[in-house]
Structures are given as structure tokens and as C-alpha cells.
Structure 1
Amino acid sequence: LLSWMPLFLHTGIGATTIGVFHLKDCSSADEDIGVVLEGIRVLSNLDSVPTAVAMLFGLIYAMNLAYPADLRYTFEVLQKIVMELDGGKLSNKALSLKNHLYE
């Protein structure tokens, strides 16, 4: 499956600290959905993006990883508000967003 991916995609994935990817070749039916940790594709060929996000959170929890500092609030909102995991302990920014969402 890697043979159809251009070099810039390999470089972009290699420069990613943590994330989910969805690669699709428009000229064929080839696609890949997976998880990247520290620039390494740790999971691929997953069924869907929501599955990849759930797997990413599972890996973060199982490996006791910290969220990247620049994405801390994004991951906190996904985990605690969207996925409703440990929602009682919110930062002020996440709590403010939650209050605005549920007004």
C-alpha cells in the first residue's frame, strides 16, 4: 500500500508528533487510515477515522503519554467533552467551551 504514496506524505507523517491520518489515492480505491506516534505509523488499515481516534486515545492511555503542549486543550475537549471520559475534571478553557456548547 505504501507504493502509491508520494514522498511528501511520508515526510508529513514523519514530522507528526501524534495524530490520525486518512490517505486516499483519488486515481484508485486505495486508502489507509491509521495512527501516528512520534512520526511512526503505529497502526494502519483501520476501518474508519472514529476507530483511529479511539485507538489513538487507547494508545495514549496505555503508554501513559502526555498530550502535545500545543494540542493539549484540543485533546482535553475530545476526551472529556466529546467522548465523555473523566469529564468532571476540566480546565477553565474546556469548562468555558462546555458551558457555551450546552447553553
Structure 2
Amino acid sequence: MLPGGTHHAPPFEACPRFTADLQHLTPAQRQRFRRVVLDAFVPDLRTGRPFRPGLRVKGVRCAPGVYELTWAPDGRATWRYGRMVVAGEQHIVWRRIGTHDIFTGP
């Protein structure tokens, strides 16, 4: 899902729904999501400081412990912190990805 390349992403897992959602994105949307995650989300996650305002990371009101990441004008992904599996690295569990419509389901 996330490219290897020269960037090292922290450990993550994807819920089955995220994997299914990802297949409905266009190649350009998938590429944009990867770029935002690797160039902004991961670096911000590693600092331990708040995420940059442009990512618009915020909690999902109806799902405590779940966060929303804005990766495009109408591109959203939901995620939560998972149990650490690599010492010193946050573990991310990706839950949903798509347009704002992802908030209509679980």
C-alpha cells in the first residue's frame, strides 16, 4: 500500500475496509495519499509534536480514539494508534480512505 522507496514508514496495518476502499481510488489519488503520508504525516508523527495544520488531523467525534487525516480537498483517511510493535515507532492502523463519504459507515 505505502511505497517503500527511500522513505521509511513506521509500522502500520490496514483494516480490510481500508484495503477495499483503497482499490476504489484512482491511481492519482493513491499516489497523492502516499505522498502526503510519506512527506508530511510520517515526519510529523516522528516529531511527537502536533501535526502541521495543512494535514487537518482531528479526532472523529463519533469514534473515540479514531482520527481523520485530510490528504486532498475531498480526500480523507481514518486511522488510530495501534499497540507499538517496534520500539520507539508509533504503530498506525488505517481504517478507511476515500472522500468525505467514508463517514457515512462504520
Q: Verify same fold: TM over 0.5.
A: no
> TM-score by structure 2 length?
0.30
> TM-score by structure 1 length?
0.31
Bigger fraction of residues in helix: 1
The structure number with the bigger radius of gyration is: 1
Bigger fraction of residues in strand: 2
Higher relative contact order (CA 8 A, sep 6+): 2
